Amino acid sequence: MTEDLKRLAQDAIAASAAADDPDYPCFHVVPPVGRLNDPNGLLIDGDTYHAFYQLSPFHPHRKLVYWGHSSSTDLLHWRHHAPAIIPDSSYDRSGAYSGNAIVLEGHEVDAAPARAPFQLFYTGNLKDPVTDERTASQCLVTSGDLTDFAKWPGNPLIPAHAEGYTTHYRDPQVFRDPDRPGEYRMLIGVQRADETGAAVLYRSRDLVSWELEGELSFPGAGGAFDAFGYMWECPGLVRLKDEDTGEDWDVLIWCPQGITPEREGFENIFPCVYTAGHLVGTELRDTGGVFYEVDRGFEFYAPQVFARRSSEPGPVLLTGWAGNASEDDQPSIETGQWVHALTMPRMLSLKAGRLIQRPAASLPYDAGEPALVGERLKAGLHEVDELSGHRSWQLRLEADTEHTAGLWGLRIGSDDSHVDITLDGQVLRVDRTTSRYAQHGSVRSVTLPEGCAPVLEVIHDRSLTEVFVGDGALVLTLRSFVAIDSSGVRLMVDRDLALTAGSTRTFTPS
């Protein structure tokens, strides 16, 4: 008898006690049960944000990937929904892998598959149970209301990989072609036959029939990306305007597996990088071969931007997986049978070729100011009273450089089990050595971008911490399993500290 995979997942979710785990975040997207990884199909529908994601509801006992689904009206309180894509078809029975969404309107809907405003694209994964050979195909799901989801009867849209590439051919990103109205493009991460990574572009007028345009190339990059790792995952292109010049740039964000640049950073098993250029056909021009990491933290991978209707412009929002490969050994899998989370959505902009990332759920103007602001603080640990008793909070502090000497920062947790986040001149240092999870890196020191202001903003949610420095010039994400019985945060001062501004807010489970 054929398994009812939808019912089995719903039963696992219904039986889950994950939300009772004291490490379970309050205001991030987390799985209702099992394992979460890449964000998928992020989109905005009016005043509601929808986050789909890779969900393995039977983890760790069985590896079978669905698309999970959560929604929010404020980017802080997330509601679970039933899984949206079930891996129960002949072309995806080994998993419904990553992809994205596009939101249509007006005449676009009239010409769309199933006349549906929401089009979700994903990679169907199929492995032969005898030979273990993989078939990767690009597939479509449509929805009229984001409650019911239907697989396109003509799936798969792209049944196999193109000649010259291996079966590692996945993670479609579909977007409107801003230069050719009425046409769409699909970007796919691939591995060449010589086992180097790349991305390919397809084109379509109807979102069903796709024609291969060619491989994404980088003229003028000096060959920097010609043999850049062995596989490119989750590639995405987004157009951003430079804050200083007003010029539009096409920013490629992707995860090149297997790169080892000889410079600071790139400590994680798999990195996530970006480069800025101008997309002309299949050429990303003007990058100069320059690239940077998106996030300098221990846990960050596979980010994606939210899709929206063309008539509803707004800030570009990005969310990533606060995890990475081989990191399923976190304490929560034992205490609550769940693992991993998504980052808080971030507003993206560009300045002098560098990404600026700011929390999308920014602190309100009437947020409380810590009593420590305005004081001259001496060496020691100083309790931030406004956050005492809370394990989910947001704190922003700005230092006066003329009256500050030595390092300063925050201690989250107890004296015995904590994470320290400190600024010392132009270096950010994060130390989680004494926490309950440091297997994949305990200390990270990061040189700040030139001109980075002494502004430290930290979002902490039980076991997940995001650090923003210099008004978003640098971001670092980490899992922070500190002492469960600890709360609040303490300000660490090495010599002298004067704070000129600050704000706080706290969160409770919804």
Token couple for 111: 């010409």
Which of the four pLDDT bands, split at 50, 70 and 90, describes residue 147? very high
Query: Are 347 and 433 part of one and the same domain?
Result: no
Last residue of a domain, which of 359, 377, 411? Answer: 359
Active site residue 38: yes
Query: So what's the pLDDT on residue 55?
Result: 98
What's the CATH number where 382 sits? 2.60.120.560
Residue 231 domain-assigned (yes or no): no
Q: Could you read off the pLDDT of 47-93 as tens digits, one per residue?
A: 999 999 999 999 999 999 999 999 999 999 999 999 999 999 999 99
Q: In this predicted model, what pLDDT tens digit does every residue of 6-26 receive, in sequence order? A: 999 999 999 999 999 999 999
* pLDDT exceeds 90 at position 305: yes
Are residue 408 and residue 314 in the same domain, yes or no?
A: no
Q: Positive or negative, the Cα torsion across 36, 38, 41, 43?
A: positive
- Assess if residue 201 is contained within a domain: yes
Q: Is residue 314 domain-shared with residue 395, that is, in the same domain?
A: no
Would residue 264 count as lying in a domain?
A: no
What are the beta bridge partners of residue 459?
Answer: 394, 466
Q: Is the dihedral of CA 270, 22, 346, 170 positive or negative?
A: positive
In a domain, 438, yes or no: yes
> Do 354 and 410 belong to one domain?
no
CATH assignment of the domain containing 160: 2.115.10.20
The per-residue pLDDT for 257 is 98
Q: Give domain status of residue 251, yes or no.
A: no
Say whether both 55 and 199 belong to one domain: yes
pLDDT band at 2 (very low <50, low <70, confident <90, very high): confident
User: pLDDT digits over 364-419, tens only?
Assistant: 766 789 999 999 999 999 999 999 999 999 999 999 999 999 999 999 999 999 99
Q: In what order do the strands lie in the sheet with 346-351?
A: 301-305, 316-321, 346-351, 354-359
Do 205 and 329 share a domain, yes or no?
Answer: yes
**What's the pLDDT at 510?**
66
131 and 211 together in one domain:
yes
Of 318, 344, 359, the position where a domain reaches its end is 359
Only one residue has tokens 């790792």, namely 229
State how far the alpha carbon of 357 is from the alpha carbons of 102, 159, 315, 421, 470, in Å: 23, 37, 11, 19, 10
Kindly state the average pLDDT of the residues 222-249.
97
**347 and 452 together in one domain:** no
Q: What is the mean pLDDT of the chain?
A: 96
How many whole angstroms separate alpha carbon 460 and alpha carbon 489?
A: 10
Domain stops at, among 311, 330, 359: 359
Element (H, E) at 318: strand 316-321
Residue 161 has pLDDT above 60, yes or no: yes
Assess contact for 210 and 200: CB atoms under 8 A: no
What average pLDDT does the segment 200-229 reach?
98
Domain annotation covers residue 246:
no
Give me the percent of the chain exceeding a pLDDT of 90.
Answer: 96
Q: How confident is the model at residue 248 (pLDDT cuts 50, 70, 90)?
A: very high
3-state secondary structure of 11: helix
**Active site residue: 11, 21, 23, 38, which one?**
38
CB atoms within 10 A of CB 328: 15
Same domain, yes or no: 353 and 396: no
Task: Count how many domains the chain has.
Answer: 2
State pLDDT tens for residues 167-183. Answer: 999 999 999 999 999 99
Residue with tokens 């971001």: 475
- The two most distant CA atoms of the chain are separated, in Å, by 73
Convert the pLDDT of each residue in 338-354 to its tens digit: 999 999 999 999 999 99
Helix (H, G, I), strand (E, B) or coil at 313: coil
Q: What is the pLDDT of residue 363?
A: 75
326 with 468, same domain: the answer is no
Shared domain for 119 and 160, answered yes or no, is yes
pLDDT of residue 364: 74
Looking at the structure, do residues 334 and 420 belong to the same domain, yes or no? no
Buried/exposed code over 364-379 (b: 16+ C-beta within 10 A; e: otherwise)? eeeeeebebeeeebee
What is the pLDDT confidence band of residue 302, given thresholds at 50, 70 and 90? very high
* Mean predicted confidence (pLDDT) in 114-139: 95
* Residue 239 in domain: no
Residue 254 has a pLDDT of 98
pLDDT band at 129 (very low <50, low <70, confident <90, very high): confident
pLDDT of residue 365: 63
Tens of pLDDT, residues 148-157: 999 999 999 9
State which residues form the domain around 436: 365-506
E strand or H helix that includes residue 12: helix 5-14
What confidence score (pLDDT) does residue 508 get?
Answer: 83
Is residue 256 assigned to a domain? no
Q: The tokens 């769940």 sit on which residue?
A: 338
